[in-house]
Structure 1
Amino acid sequence: MRSKLMTHGLEKAPHRSLMFATGLTREEMARPLVGICNAANEIIPGHVHLDAITRAVKDGVRMAGGTPMEFPTIGVCDGLAMNHEGMKFSLPSRELIADSIEIMATAHPFDALVLVTNCDKIVPGMLMAMLRLNIPAIIVSGGPMLAGSHKGKTADLITVFEGVGKVSRGDMSEAELGELETSACPSCGSCSGMFTANSMNCLSEAIGLALPGNGTIPAVTSARIRLAKQAGMQVMELLAKNIRPRDIVTKKSVANAVTVDMALGCSTNTVLHLPAVFAEAGLDLTLDIFDEISRTTPNLCHLSPAGPHHLEDLDRAGGIPGVMAELSSQGLLQLDALTVTGKTLGENLDALDARVTDDEVIRPMGDPYSVEGGIAILHGNLAPDGCVVKQSAVAPEMMQRTGTARVFESEEDAVSAILGGRIQAGDVVVIRNEGPKGGPGMREMLTPTSAIAGMGLGKDVALITDGRFSGGTRGAAIGHVSPEAYEGGPIGLVKDGDQIKVDIPGRSLELLVSPEELAKRQQNWKPLEKEVTSPFLRRYRRHASSAAKGAVFDR
């Protein structure tokens, strides 16, 4: 056992003395020591209940003969950090989370790990740490929030964001928006649509590093507590069999994760997080792989923001096992991939008798929402290294469109123009210098996309950025444009009035300006140097890779 490095032998008497000081007994020290990373805090709605989830995990570990030892990590609520300086710290926090867990589990050599998570950057940060450390480990989430209700219709956080635009347009009163604020998010848990947190929790199942049900069992149910206990017990089984994360995460898991991603219509942030996660296992996940799998995988689910359903509906309809059963019926999954159950994916589906119980929430393969997956990768002279769009949430009218560029150097300036009525049908809003280095930090931009929808322009205006979008974004929102403006990408050369052609089915994003004119503009181009007072963000700017490579720290 790794833990013997600090519990066994004559020379470890001082170590044992320190452990006695924590209240441990000799009997507890003699058992496998299981690190329990608890991401609970009193800020994030998805994390306020994680102490209860963690207690259940610890109960499971003890029932199976281990000694749980809890430690914390940080977490940023993307919703609360949105549309101000705080969002610059959200994506970079992923690297700090992975690093902090590596530090804790190496300085204190646990025999195994259970990582208790829920929201946006915490999930991929924990997955990265699991693969980096490569000791028996399992991840368990706190589960999704229930959907809210307003005027007889379901509501969620995105309904509130879009309500701001409706108030600006005069379609909703501030009093009604105030009522909506109190009803859209009715419980703890990760926000109720197929946003980034739920996307990554669902994909943790598909990768094989979480138990079935991890992505969809609602946060407020007793089933979620039982799942946490099962995770605690199961990590002891993984330890007994010496099954490690890199035994599970192989090229087969890469293919399965991206296939389920496309079927679900997940957040575009998965295109940042999955490459970062798999890189820790030495596996390369390129934008081309996303696009290849998208072209052959039908989109089976339209959860908010793409459609009316929420995670509780997906859970009731069969959950991720139901989606995977439907995909496997046409041979689209690698069923012999190993999972944290100790069994293969195919064995798990058989044991669960996995099936779809509502074919409107999970469409059959023969009647999908669309024949292609939820995400498309575009290339062209505006994005030579690629960019990403959640095509399952784009109105048909915007799948192919040529429009007039309206250029902004920051999210705040763009939001002011949108809510001020200065953006018209046929415009293409370009927000640049918001990439990993240019931001720095690559902010999510749910506010401008929601403002476009709320102003009634969702079928008439596209938004293009070297920044990124929330999983709650809908509309022709094209992000991760690479290279970014700060590094000399063509998006930095766009001028007001230029024509931009968007062709999502053709996978193309073109700036309709001659090569000669672009060369002339390039000669006069200089990077926009925003003042960066944070030492951490200055470090991130120096070390962050392109969005096309997951915006990970260089190695």
Structure 2
Amino acid sequence: MENKKLRSSDWFGRTGKDGFIYRAWMKNQGIPEYEFNNKPIIGICNTWSELTPCNAHFRDLAESVKRGVLEAGGFPVEFPVMSLGETLMKPTAMLYRNLASMDVEESIRANPLDGVVLLCGCDKTTPSLVMGACSVDIPTIVVSGGPMLTGRHKGNSIGTSDIWRFFSDLRGGVIDETELLSIESAMCRSQGHCAVMGTASSMACMVESLGLSLPNNAAIPAADSRRKVLAQLSGLRIVDMVKQDIKPSDILTRQAFENAIKVNAAIGGSTNFVIHLLAIAGRIGVPLKLSDFDGLSSDIPLIANLQPSGKYFMEDLYYAGGLQAVIKQLDHLLHKECITVNGKTIQQNYANAACYNTDVITTTESPFNSLTGLAILSGNLCENGAVIKPSAASAHLMQHTGKAVVFDSIEDYHARIDSDELDVDESSVLVLKNVGPKGYPGMPEVGNMSLPKKLIQQGVKDMVRVSDGRMSGTGFGTVVLHVSPEAATGNNFAMIETGDMITLDVPNRTINAAVSDQEFERRKALFIPAEPSVERGYVNLYINHVQQAHLGADMDFLRGKSGSKIVRDSH
């Protein structure tokens, strides 16, 4: 494959007017003639943005990638794509994941690129970039931005999972606003994404376990100089990947997806992993169902002692041996021959990995937590399934029956949750509707609803909560998420009423409402669908074409890769 024609030669290798135009305008940047002489053109897809604080160091990281590309004899070209900042974007960054993936896909397809390095970090930037690259299917490698250093406050280690605890303490009168401001200043003390096993770290672990990044990509802190070394080595490697024609479709096999699901269970990864992996599988054309996650995860205990399910942070994981040390513990469960971006198998990559802290990385024989990091539920409340994270839930609520307290929207929830008149107790099941893909729109991270203030003041720490929305990977609690079909479709979940008895049975993987089929049908006959909230632009396109959570919430017209072929010349 060393002599395979470069895709960029359809631009820069041409004679006549077209070649003249392609080269001449690039030369205004001071590029000499020999750079166009059959060198692999490597795109550096950069999600840098000052509105995405997790990715604000990517300009610097891109320079390290460029050094590697140049060292290998390639020619690097950096280009921007839409950046999705989880902390600032409204109504939710998830609404724009598919838009960003389209930006990536068309930017790659439309330009003279032979290979691409994806710079991603904050939650949705990783799946959106991978989804877009899969749809074009040219040689691709991922470089994550890395987690921030562990926060420190009054001698204690803190991270973003503690936000939920601090907010609960504030509402319960344990701390005041002055103390909260002090904590705020101590938490995010370096560049990088969340320091816990939240969604950003779960996505970094996802790409490493899939084989789309070099080993150790997931855990190196953003502030550690070794993050830049990995970026340079990735730039070096992508040039050889182009020469060897190693594409995402060569790496992302069904077996690779199964490996990633098992690793996610072992690390207690974010529930968002499910919806993003399903979307990636849909883009690359690998058949993957929601039910597959439970079958592949159910027998895998939690072996990484990391917040929010455990004690430690991503920085600690790296010093303890990194993700490769975790993967090595799963050797007997993995498809060992899956190829990765460095040309080696996944087993060859972890063969020499070692654990340096058995409190951070345990074993499958003596796990940190015998509960798995992921379970898929079924039942009449969620005809197409729902998701829960047992490792971050309360043991006493794993089998629970309680009266539903229903909120029809996030606005309804905010208006009533702290009312003294709310008829709720610690055995109740909080139900939040219309926060799914279509109903919100965009499926926000509001599923781990804060508990009623009056119950917090009584010392209640957890309750069963159910929604068609998502939960931040930093969150925890007995929270049932991604109910599908969502309430906006008028299916069973939309018909749940306050007072209905709901039974959660995680060991048997079910969640059911004590409502008969006949009663569901009676209620459906009275259902009045909401009017479309947006009549124009991308959001209107999203509402009309987004699929349900059990399919990955991608657009129906984006599933399946379409390749990198240039449709027609422009001159």
TM tier, shorter chain?
Answer: over 0.9
Amino acid corresponding to residue 34 of structure 2 in structure 1: E
Aligned to 2:545: 543
For 2:74 and 2:225, the matched residues in 1 are separated by 23
> Equivalent residue of 1:237, what SS?
helix
For 1:251 and 1:372, the matched residues in 2 are separated by 25
Amino acid corresponding to residue 134 of structure 1 in structure 2: D
Identify the match of residue 503 of structure 2 among 497, 501, 510.
501
Aligned to 1:407: 406
Tell me the CA shift for residue 533 of structure 1: 5.8
Aligned to 2:297: 294
Identify the match of residue 14 of structure 1 among 14, 17, 21.
21
Aligned to 2:347: 346
For 2:31 and 2:408, the matched residues in 1 are separated by 56
Does residue 3 (structure 1) correspond to residue 8 (structure 2)? The answer is: yes
Tell me the CA shift for residue 45 of structure 1: 2.2
For 2:509 and 2:414, the matched residues in 1 are separated by 27
Aligned to 1:238: 241
For 1:348 and 1:150, the matched residues in 2 are separated by 37
Identify the match of residue 76 of structure 1 among 81, 84, 87.
84
Does residue 191 (structure 1) correspond to residue 198 (structure 2)? The answer is: no
For 1:54 and 1:451, the matched residues in 2 are separated by 46
Identify the match of residue 226 of structure 1 among 214, 218, 229.
229
Aligned to 1:437: 438
Residues 65 and 362 of structure 1: is their aligned pair in 2 closer, same or farther, counting only changes over 3 Å?
A: same
Amino acid corresponding to residue 15 of structure 2 in structure 1: L
Aligned to 1:208: 211
> Equivalent residue of 1:215, what SS?
coil
Identify the match of residue 110 of structure 2 among 103, 107, 112.
107
Amino acid corresponding to residue 340 of structure 1 in structure 2: V
> Equivalent residue of 2:54, what SS?
coil
Aligned to 1:87: 91
> Equivalent residue of 1:437, what SS?
coil
> Equivalent residue of 1:232, what SS?
helix
Aligned to 2:71: 63
Amino acid corresponding to residue 78 of structure 1 in structure 2: E
Pairing of 1:242-321 with structure 2 (within 5 A): 242-321=245-324
Aligned to 2:44: 36
Aligned to 2:429: 428
Gaps of 5+ in 2: 1-5, 558-571
Deviation digits for residues 413-466 of structure 1 (CA, Å, limit 9, x no counterpart): 324433456453112111111111111111111672488897677644111111
Aligned to 1:360: 359
> Equivalent residue of 2:261, what SS?
helix
Deviation digits for residues 267-300 of structure 1 (CA, Å, limit 9, x no counterpart): 1101100011122221021111100011122221
Residues 516 and 163 of structure 1: is their aligned pair in 2 closer, same or farther, counting only changes over 3 Å?
A: same
Q: So what's the TM-score if we normalise by structure 1?
A: 0.95
> Equivalent residue of 2:118, what SS?
strand
Residues 100 and 75 of structure 1: is their aligned pair in 2 closer, same or farther, counting only changes over 3 Å?
A: same
Would you say the 8 A contact 2:379–2:510 is kept in 1?
A: yes
Pairing of 1:478-493 with structure 2 (within 5 A): 478-493=480-495
Tell me the CA shift for residue 514 of structure 1: 2.6
> Equivalent residue of 1:78, what SS?
coil
For 2:63 and 2:363, the matched residues in 1 are separated by 39
Tell me the CA shift for residue 516 of structure 1: 2.6
Would you say the 8 A contact 1:326–1:356 is kept in 2?
A: no
For 1:96 and 1:259, the matched residues in 2 are separated by 29
For 2:101 and 2:309, the matched residues in 1 are separated by 31
Deviation digits for residues 212-244 of structure 1 (CA, Å, limit 9, x no counterpart): 111100000100010000000010111121111
Amino acid corresponding to residue 475 of structure 1 in structure 2: G
Amino acid corresponding to residue 519 of structure 1 in structure 2: E
Would you say the 8 A contact 2:298–2:374 is kept in 1?
A: no
Tell me the CA shift for residue 27 of structure 1: 1.5
Q: Which moved more, 1:388-397 or 1:460-469?
A: 460-469
For 1:128 and 1:231, the matched residues in 2 are separated by 19
Tell me the CA shift for residue 157 of structure 1: 2.2
For 1:484 and 1:340, the matched residues in 2 are separated by 37
For 1:283 and 1:372, the matched residues in 2 are separated by 28
Would you say the 8 A contact 2:160–2:187 is kept in 1?
A: yes
Aligned to 1:369: 368
Deviation digits for residues 200-220 of structure 1 (CA, Å, limit 9, x no counterpart): 111100000001111100000
> Equivalent residue of 2:431, what SS?
strand
> Equivalent residue of 2:246, what SS?
coil
Amino acid corresponding to residue 313 of structure 2 in structure 1: H
> Equivalent residue of 2:434, what SS?
coil
Residues 188 and 418 of structure 1: is their aligned pair in 2 closer, same or farther, counting only changes over 3 Å?
A: farther
For 2:175 and 2:283, the matched residues in 1 are separated by 47
Tell me the CA shift for residue 355 of structure 1: 2.1
Would you say the 8 A contact 2:447–2:481 is kept in 1?
A: no
Would you say the 8 A contact 1:159–1:184 is kept in 2?
A: no
Identify the match of residue 56 of structure 2 among 36, 48, 56.
48
Aligned to 2:567: none
For 2:127 and 2:456, the matched residues in 1 are separated by 31
For 1:176 and 1:460, the matched residues in 2 are separated by 24
Deviation digits for residues 86-136 of structure 1 (CA, Å, limit 9, x no counterpart): 134x11322122211221222112011111110111101111122221111
Amino acid corresponding to residue 193 of structure 1 in structure 2: V
Would you say the 8 A contact 2:447–2:467 is kept in 1?
A: no
Would you say the 8 A contact 2:300–2:364 is kept in 1?
A: no
For 1:69 and 1:518, the matched residues in 2 are separated by 57
Would you say the 8 A contact 1:161–1:451 is kept in 2?
A: no
> Equivalent residue of 1:320, what SS?
helix
Residues 398 and 282 of structure 1: is their aligned pair in 2 closer, same or farther, counting only changes over 3 Å?
A: same
For 2:235 and 2:505, the matched residues in 1 are separated by 48
> Equivalent residue of 2:55, what SS?
coil
Aligned to 2:561: none
For 1:529 and 1:395, the matched residues in 2 are separated by 38
Q: State the identity %.
A: 36
For 1:461 and 1:349, the matched residues in 2 are separated by 40
For 1:194 and 1:418, the matched residues in 2 are separated by 29
> Equivalent residue of 1:37, what SS?
strand
Would you say the 8 A contact 1:162–1:450 is kept in 2?
A: no
Residues 530 and 495 of structure 1: is their aligned pair in 2 closer, same or farther, counting only changes over 3 Å?
A: farther
Amino acid corresponding to residue 340 of structure 2 in structure 1: T
For 1:418 and 1:367, the matched residues in 2 are separated by 41
Residues 279 and 429 of structure 1: is their aligned pair in 2 closer, same or farther, counting only changes over 3 Å?
A: same
